[in-house]
């Protein structure tokens, strides 16, 4: 009988392994790692503007602290100072989510006031609402002396999305197959 018991144990073991394999499921599991922020919710787009007929040259670029804009234009004398005679592009932005943009110009000895799209941003910061999209913010600038050379304005900005904090990530996706016995 011990020989028969051994054969019975082997036969039952084989049957059990065969049934387990027949009932196995394949489970696919995905693991994703967020590697880095791909882009900010709002970003400065480097650009320039030139209008030879009205004497305006403007260029802007991203800096580590915000943006920098250089303007050359004809100024007109007014009772409150000298103004650039036409609205001039200050900076180009791309918003990836709707929100509120707060902009300020860093102190400049020649600047009396700056507004963008009708909102004052110097000497105090100002805020405007943006939707998703691309924007060129136009400045109206009042300075204390006529422009005889280009003037550079350094700006800082903060963007608060209306839906809360939004980050756009790149990611690494790995796929694993697991064999699960059921």
pLDDT digits (tens, 9 = 90+) for 37-47: 555 788 899 99
Q: Are residues 131 and 56 in the same domain?
A: yes
Report how many domains make up the chain. 2
Same domain for 19 and 47? Answer: no
Q: Are residues 20 and 47 in the same domain?
A: no
Same domain, 106 and 19: no
Cα(55)–Cα(77) distance, rounded to whole angstroms? 16
Look-up of token digits 């756009």? 168
One domain for residues 23 and 113: no
Q: Which domain holds residue 99?
A: 42-161
Whether 53 and 8 map to the same domain: the answer is no
Contact predicate 27/178, CB 8 Å: yes
Which is nearest to 108 in space by CA: 83, 81, 142?
142
> Does residue 98 share a domain with residue 24?
no
- Same domain? For 25 and 54 the reply is no
Same-domain status, 85 and 19 = no
Other beta carbons within 10 angstroms of residue 96's beta carbon come to: 18
- Exposure string of 32-48, with b = 16+ CB inside 10 Å and e = fewer, is eeeeeeeeebbebeeee
Checking if the pLDDT of 72 tops 90, the result is no
Closest C-alpha to 54, from 84, 96, 94: 84
**Lowest-confidence pick of 25-34, 74-83, 165-174:** 165-174
Q: Are residues 76 and 108 in the same domain?
A: yes
Tell me, yes or no, whether 52 and 107 share the same domain.
yes
Residue 64 shares a structural domain with residue 124: yes
Looking at residue 97, its pLDDT comes to 86
Mean pLDDT of the chain: 78
Residue 34 has pLDDT above 60, yes or no: no
Mean pLDDT of 49-55: 84
Least confident piece of the model among 14-28, 45-59, 167-181: 167-181
């Amino acid at each position: 009988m011990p020989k028969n018991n051994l054969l019975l144990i082997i036969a039952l073991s084989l049957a059990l392994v065969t049934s387990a394999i027949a009932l196995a499921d394949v489970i696919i599991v995905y693991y994703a790692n967020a590697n880095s922020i791909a882009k900010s919710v709002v970003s400065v787009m480097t650009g320039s503007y030139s209008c030879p007929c009205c004497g305006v040259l403007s260029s802007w670029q991203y800096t580590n602290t915000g943006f920098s804009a250089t303007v050359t234009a004809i100024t007109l004398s007014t009772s409150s100072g000298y103004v650039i005679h036409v609205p001039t592009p200050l900076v180009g932005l791309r918003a990836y989510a709707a929100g509120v943009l707060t902009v300020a110009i860093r102190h400049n000895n020649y600047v009396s006031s700056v507004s963008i799209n009708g909102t004052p941003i110097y000497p105090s910061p100002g805020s405007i609402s943006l939707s998703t999209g691309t924007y060129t913010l136009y400045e109206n600038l009042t300075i204390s002396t006529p422009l005889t050379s280009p003037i550079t304005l350094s700006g800082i900005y903060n963007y608060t999305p209306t839906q809360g904090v939004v980050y756009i990530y790149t990611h690494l996706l790995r796929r694993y197959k697991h064999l699960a016995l059921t």
